[in-house]
Amino acid sequence: MNRSHKEFRCGSNTLNNQQTIIGIVREWTNYITRSRSRDRDQIRMKNITKAILRALKYQESSRGIAFPFRQLTKEKRRELSRITELITHNRSGSGSIPRLAVYLVGPDHLIICGSGSGSGPDPSFCQPDSSPTSPPSLKPFSVVNHRSNNNHNRHRSICHLETEIFNQGQMGSKEDDGIHENILPPIEQEISDELNTKAKKYLRGEGADLKALQDKKLKGQLAVREEIYGKSAKAAAKIEKWLLPSEGGYLEAEGIEKTWRIKQESIAREVDILSSRNQYDIVLPELGPYTLDFTSSGRYMAAAGRKGHLAVVDMKNMNLVKEIQVRETVRDVVFLHNEHFFAAAQKKYPYIYNREGTELHCLKEHGAVLRLQFLRNHFLLASINKFGQLHYQDVTMGEMVGNFRTGFGRTDVMQVNPYNGVVALGHSGGTVTMWKPTTSAPLVKMLCHPGPVSALAFHPNGHLMATSGKEKKIKIWDLRKFEVLQSIPGHAKCLDFSQKGLLAVGNGSFVQILGDLSGSENYSRYMGHPMAKGYQIGKVQFRPYEDVLGIGHSTGWSSILVPGSGEPNFDSWVANPFETTKQRREKEVRSLLDKLPPETIMLNPSKIGTVRPARKKEKLTKQEREADMEAAIEDVKGIAMKKKTKGRNKSSKVAKKKQERVVKTKRPFLEQQLKEDQASAKKRQKLNEQVELPSSLQRFARKKTTT
């Protein structure tokens, strides 16, 4: 470092010739980049210089930048990225390294200028007004001798550049030593920020507070686990950024056109042939009304007619897999963990069938079921019967996990929150209750409407709930605060959220799609569709991973196109619409191994895997303290005394030693009691001082003595 100062000393006069400055800096950069010194500061300076030269290498026009010099240590990557962005303009065919000019203006700002043609920097570019990031108070540039003590705090010599960078760098963290390895171009810096934002979405809950832990072993284990969680979240964010091939579509209106006025016929003319096949009507007037359910992948659909018709359809090629006639009332149908098993709520009991239509089980303990729901992560079949009894049955072992009488009467409004597995029931009194299989009392009891609840649905993120009441109000609830976000006029017989957050509202013969177009959880009209010939809608459900809405109505079922409703990218480890037989078998085994116990169902599942904070010691009562002291005294009295000789085993001395043991045992209890009494006395005195007496009693107040 001293060698560079001696060799490139600038002299005693102010240098105003920019060409002279360029020559000095050019020689300095050549020296510092070719130096083989192992000095730590020189190595770091060499790396920074190389980064600047790389930024200047492929450009033609003169570019420059001014940035805060004191922030160089904290924001090296960002500022060097700005250098790359502003200096790198176009690739030069010559490939020669340009000249470099560095100006230190004032104590806080550094200006770098370069030229690819070798003719020096453009003076006009280095003016204060032309640099987008330069400070507003910059004056014409000059370089002052570093030996000038009077101006040392205002201007610095060009030869002090490396020293200043070293001094600033030594104030930084150890991570700054590898700055040359972490220098990112501006585009990559933006991508990195975007990935960090996306990674937060994949982090399940808050991390463990390692500072509050005393156990070193547990602290190390949790630190490793948190690191793994962070890496997996970043990997998922990178996959979402680079490997997800598709983006969701949507309806875009032009001019004064409204999206809710666009009809299905217009959409069908614009989409491809494969998507247009998802727009159809199946009319079976003698067996309706119909209800339906899709598998988690959206590949198969189960349809159930009120008069006993059950059918499984392959939605990929519109083939009928199997249909049966059970010859009795069917109220609901739901798929189990895959398309090979489905449950139907029939007249007396729910039944489980396989893909071939063979009856496998009759669940008589459930009774006359009105609604069915299946918890895929827990392999639990939940049902509510006409007597208001809620049942949970494990379909893997056949065990009845929970059987509760709700106490709110008959209801047919039932939904599962996909976020935490909590089952919600809507009752005739306007309340919504939330249940889990290990508790006989509801977790939450909300008064949502003044009249009966007609329908409810959960957003896929689990934080929003939509309810509809007979008073013709649709309410959007925030389950984190249990408060209403929005109230929409209208009645709904059935509700359903799509994977992208669209809300389908079915009422009478009209289905309406509400969309959160602004991203502020404010739903408005997005689409609408009237049913042909006044078919009465019984159920609406979005098809997963497709822009399709399935509608079960009085004379069959229909399907309409809803652009932007489905998730365009699927995870084959979660749900694969194109899975083979081998993949399905492997997934079934894997899901059974990953099956969650019923105890994991709770309102806040992010608590699972965290460390419960240490509780404060509860204050013992006077009776408990006296009991502990008596027990300690009895233990001391029971200790046998050692036998000693030469007159030290007299009865008087033995009694004295026993008494000393008792006093020694009592001492900590008495000291603790004394401390608590003193603290309570101080507290009472403080409260008495804070209480302002009425004017008639102030003359009796004890006055403070001043010394």
Q: How confident is the model over 531-558, as pLDDT tens digits? A: 988 899 999 999 999 999 999 999 999 9
Q: Which candidate, 57, 310, 336, places its Cα nearest to that of 185?
A: 57
- Token pair in block for residue 664: 């020694």
Q: What is the pLDDT of residue 78?
A: 54
- Token pair in block for residue 138: 């910059």
CA atoms within 13 A of residue 623's CA, in its CB half-sphere: 0
pTM beyond 0.85: the answer is: no
Q: How confident is the model over 242-259, as pLDDT tens digits? A: 777 667 778 888 888 899
> pLDDT higher for 588 or 129?
588
Q: How confident is the model over 82-97, as pLDDT tens digits? A: 554 444 433 333 333 3
Q: What is the pLDDT of residue 132?
A: 37
Mean pLDDT over 151-180 rounds to 38
Helices and strands in the chain: count of H runs, count of E runs: 13, 31
Q: How confident is the model over 344-354, as pLDDT tens digits? A: 999 999 999 99
Stretch (H or E) spanning 359? strand 359-362
Q: What is the pLDDT of residue 533?
A: 85
The stretches of 73-144 forming alpha helices (DSSP H) are: 76-87
Q: What is the pLDDT of residue 702?
A: 67
For the chain, what is the radius of gyration of the CA atoms? 38
The distance in angstroms from the start CA to the end CA of the chain is: 65
Mean pLDDT over 467-472 rounds to 94
Q: What is the pLDDT of residue 154?
A: 34
- Token pair in block for residue 374: 């299946």
> pLDDT higher for 320 or 35?
320
Q: What is the pLDDT of residue 253?
A: 84
Counting Cβ atoms within 10 Å, is residue 487 exposed (0-12), middle (13-18) or buried (19+)? exposed
> pLDDT higher for 260 or 190?
260
| pLDDT at position 36 over 50 | yes
Which strands form 423-426's sheet, in the order they lie side by side?
A: 413-416, 423-426, 431-435, 444-447
CA 398 from centre of chain:
35
Q: Which candidate, 162, 46, 56, places its Cα nearest to that of 114?
A: 56
Alpha-carbon distance of 129 to 125, in angstroms, equals 9
Mean pLDDT over 30-48 rounds to 55
Identity of the residue numbered 40: R
Cβ–Cβ < 8 Å for 242, 188: no
Alpha-carbon distance of 626 to 624, in angstroms, equals 5
Stretch (H or E) spanning 388? none
- Token pair in block for residue 375: 């918890």
Cβ–Cβ < 8 Å for 442, 434: yes
- Token pair in block for residue 661: 């043991």
419: Cβ contacts below 8 Å, ≥ 6 apart: 458, 460, 461, 462, 463, 605
DSSP secondary structure letters along 255-293: TT--GGG--HHHHHHHS-HHHHTT-EEEE-TTT-SEEEE
Q: What is the pLDDT of residue 419?
A: 93
Q: How confident is the model over 149-163, as pLDDT tens digits? A: 333 333 333 333 333
Alpha-carbon distance of 270 to 311, in angstroms, equals 31
Lowest mean pLDDT among 137-146, 193-202, 485-494: 137-146
Q: How confident is the model over 435-448, as pLDDT tens digits? A: 999 999 999 999 99
Residue 273, Ramachandran bin (φ over 0: left; ψ between -120 and 50: alpha; else beta): alpha
Cβ–Cβ < 8 Å for 433, 427: yes
Lowest mean pLDDT among 107-111, 229-233, 489-493, 522-526: 107-111
> pLDDT higher for 494 or 124?
494
Q: Which candidate, 519, 500, 503, 499, places its Cα nearest to that of 511?
A: 503
Helix (H, G, I), strand (E, B) or coil at 496: strand
Number of Cβ within a 10 Å radius of residue 345: 26
Q: What is the pLDDT of residue 64?
A: 39
| pLDDT at position 23 over 50 | no
> pLDDT higher for 234 or 364?
364
Enter the DSSP assignment of 529. E
Would you call the peptide bond into 289 cis, given omega within 30 degrees of 0 as the criterion?
yes
Residue found by looking up tokens 């209106």 in the block = 253
Alpha-carbon distance of 360 to 351, in angstroms, equals 7
Mean pLDDT over 630-659 rounds to 81
Per-residue pLDDT band at 131 (split at 50, 70, 90): very low
- Among 47-51, 514-518, 546-550, name the most confident range: 546-550
Alpha-carbon distance of 216 to 214, in angstroms, equals 6
Q: How confident is the model over 561-578, as pLDDT tens digits? A: 999 999 888 888 889 999
- Among 24-28, 121-125, 563-567, 703-707, name the most confident range: 563-567
Q: What is the pLDDT of residue 4?
A: 34
Q: What is the pLDDT of residue 704?
A: 61
Lowest mean pLDDT among 27-31, 114-118, 378-382, 495-499: 114-118
| pLDDT at position 109 over 70 | no
Mean pLDDT of the chain: 76
| pLDDT at position 496 over 50 | yes
Q: Quick one: three-class SS letters along 650-671?
A: CHHHHHHHHHHHHHHHHHHHHH
- Among 99-113, 161-175, 595-609, name the most confident range: 595-609
Alpha-carbon distance of 5 to 22, in angstroms, equals 17
Alpha-carbon distance of 123 to 62, in angstroms, equals 9
Cβ–Cβ < 8 Å for 530, 216: no
Alpha-carbon distance of 569 to 358, in angstroms, equals 34
Which strands form 473-478's sheet, in the order they lie side by side?
A: 453-458, 464-469, 473-478, 483-489
Per-residue pLDDT band at 11 (split at 50, 70, 90): very low
